[in-house]
A = this chain, B = another copy of it.
């Protein structure tokens, strides 16, 4: 979901940066997108990559895509080092060890360097806290993202039974430029083209993409207060 919510929302994504995600699963998902020409992954811990290649080959299969370029570096330093406007999509899958997901999205310096590294109308996809999190802390994350991303800022969610409360959230943000309507994906995955993956996605489809942006009323009031 983290991958396709971004890559299916813009026409012909070509350059993608993945920060974290060393297991390779997100690379495998990016690999389904035939418009993509170049994939940078910046993972700080080489051992994660080695462990997944050894013990979880169905996930680490993402590294077999020849478009993938691996950088073993700190994600913040890497993002700061690239020329402005380099990427169509940046996917962040980096967490403070055992900390709340929102912490990465509360780091304005990092978010600003992500926004700079994106082309106008480029998009960020990042995990966010569950809508069931006490006091719905995502409200702060959304407010923070709106300061930095002048295009569109959206909260989405789906079911992941292994996460606390059974829900994971996502932040989908775009920079100023061509408008992005995340709720209505314009790129459909081609079930015949799966890159290095061994078949079509088991979970993602355009309906579940659109449904991810449908929020319970108590969440919608926080995310989109103008409607209330």
Residues of A near any B CB (own CB < 8 A): 130-132, 157, 159, 161, 163, 165-167, 200-205, 207-208, 210-211, 214-218, 220
Contacts and interface: CB of A to CB of B under 8 A. Distances in A.
Contact of A217 (B132, B157, B161, B203): B203
Given A132-B161, A161-B132, A208 B202 contact: no
10 contacts: A130-B161, A201-B217, A202-B216, A203-B217, A204-B216, A204-B217, A208-B214, A208-B216, A210-B214, A211-B214
A103 to B, nearest CB: 22
A166 B160 CA distance: 8
Contacts of A215: 207-208
Given A159-B132, A165-B161, A167-B166, A202 B214 contact: no
Given A205-B217, A210-B214, 14 more contacts: A131-B159, A132-B159, A159-B165, A159-B166, A161-B167, A201-B217, A202-B218, A203-B216, A204-B217, A205-B220, A207-B215, A207-B220, A208-B216, A211-B214
Nearest to A202: B218
A200 B130 CA distance: 23
Nearest to A216: B203
Contact of A166 (B166, B201, B214): B166
A113 to B, nearest CB: 33
Contacts of A165: 159, 161, 166
A20 to B, nearest CB: 24
Contacts of A132: 159, 161
Contacts of A161: 130, 132, 165-167
Contact of A211 (B201, B211, B218): B211
Contacts of A167: 159, 161, 166
The CB with the most chain B CB atoms within 10 A, among A203, A204, A216, is that of A216
Contacts of A200: 217
Nearest to A168: B166
A208 B131 CA distance: 14
A80 to B, nearest CB: 37
A201 B157 CA distance: 20
Nearest to A165: B161
